[in-house]
Every structure is written in C-alpha cells, then in structure tokens.
Structure 1
C-alpha cells in the first residue's frame, strides 16, 4: 500500500456528501420564507376562531361579568344566542381609554402581541356594535365570520386578528 495517496472512492464519496449537504441546506433556506408566512396566517386564523368561539358559545367568567369585573369575555346566554346586555358591556370595554383594561381584554383572548376587531351586524348589514380597542391598530390580516342570534334575529359576528 502506498502512503500519501487518496483512494478514488474516497474522493467521489466526499464530493457526493458535500454536494448533497449543500443541496439540503439550500432546500431548507428556500422552504422557510415561503412557509413562514403561511404559518403566521394559520396561527392568526386559529386565534380569530378561538375568539369567535368564546364570543358566540360562552357566557364568560364570571357568568354575570361587567366592564369592571371580567376574567373571560363571552357574549352568549346559551350557545349561538347572544345576550344584548353582555354586548353592551363588551362595547364599553372596547371603547374604554383605560389601556390596562384593554390589555386585560387582549390577554383574556390569548392575544399577547396581536390586536383584534369584532363587528356584530344583522344580516341586512345594520351594525349592532364594533369593537376596535384603543392602542395598536391592525391590518385585517385574518377574518372569521360566524352566525348567531340576537333578539331572535340572525347576526353575523366578524372577528379580525392581525
């Protein structure tokens, strides 16, 4: 056996290994930017859906919450049947200039770094309420529309998260 000589099989396998490694790194780098936007959109969509679930199916906590005493917001007196008193209290919280109260509202929905808008409209587009809390403004990145009843009429609950 001669010393200092490299076997041709070793050279070929090294070149093949380096080439495949570079190709895999390229694929990973190329994959991330296109899918990271989709991942962010999916996360926002799930947050918007979660908020809509709380609003139209849950009574909130405590059950007789008001603008000064709430842990979790829910607008329903029973699933899909909204309570006008709770809608009025929710609107008071949304229109509040108290940023601590607004942050508590965001936190109750699990929105640490995101903001939201909630609209409730009758199906003829008559507005019942619009909640656009003070603070950070958002682009309406994700939108969820749900149907519920209010005073025996159908309403559309629209949640935007961004």
Structure 2
C-alpha cells in the first residue's frame, strides 16, 4: 500500500511537469508605406515543414491605389540574386468599378531554410503563384497542402490566407 501511495505521488508530480511546444515566431514583412495606403493585401503563410524561424510569416503589401503592381524581396537584401524576388499585382474589373471584388496576381517566394554550402549562404524558398479574385475584408485560403501524421490524422502543414483590407 505504501509503495502504491508513493507511486501515485510520483506520478502526480510528473503529471505537473508537462512540456509545452514553443510556437514559432511570427515574421512580419511590410512592403510600401502604411501612411499613404488606401488598402492592404495580407498573406498569412504557415509552413510546418520550414525551419522553425520561417514557419509563420505575415506579408502585408500596402496599396496606394488600384491598379497597383509591386516587386520586392522576401529575404535578406544581401541574397537578392538567389530567387527571393516576389511580385504582386492588384486591380478591379474595369467593367465593374463599383464591385467589391479585387483581382490579385501574386508570385511569392517565402523563405523555408537557410543553408550554407562551401561558405555561401543559400536560401531554400517555397514559391506560390496564382491569380485570384477576392472580396474586400473577406479572408480566403488561396493555397494549402495536407499530410498525415504518425497517428493517421490529417494535418494541414502549408497554408496561405489572403485578405484585402
């Protein structure tokens, strides 16, 4: 009986020592001037297959007026010639200027990993390209990939939401 009581006490003590998974940091990338912006295009990018520091990224592109076209880098400026270049275009249908829908074409290259080979830093990127029509203020999932974990549960491990504000 004494052994069982000690076992229960030890078990209860261990139950209090739970390990919590640390959430990856959110990397905020802003393109353009917020002060002059009439709108913003937001991409919430999540990729569990990327290195820890690149798993959660939020890209905000400030728009002065429609139509708008922007080119920018999604990684360290010292890596310009390594495939980091990204672009976004946004416009409304000229035949329906009062429409709440906006067309967005994007070619984004999000960082996944930074490798070093022969002393050279090489980024590994995940490219997303598409053209979608979205409503102002309504988030829309524009890409997603799923996988199955070791228990057979379906897990969404790469997803991107787009929102026009």
TM-score for the superposition, normalised by structure 1:
0.31
- Structure with higher Rg: it is 1
Instruction: Identify, as 1 or 2, the structure richer in strand.
Output: 2
State TM-score, norm by structure 2: 0.31
- Structure number having the greater helix percentage: 1
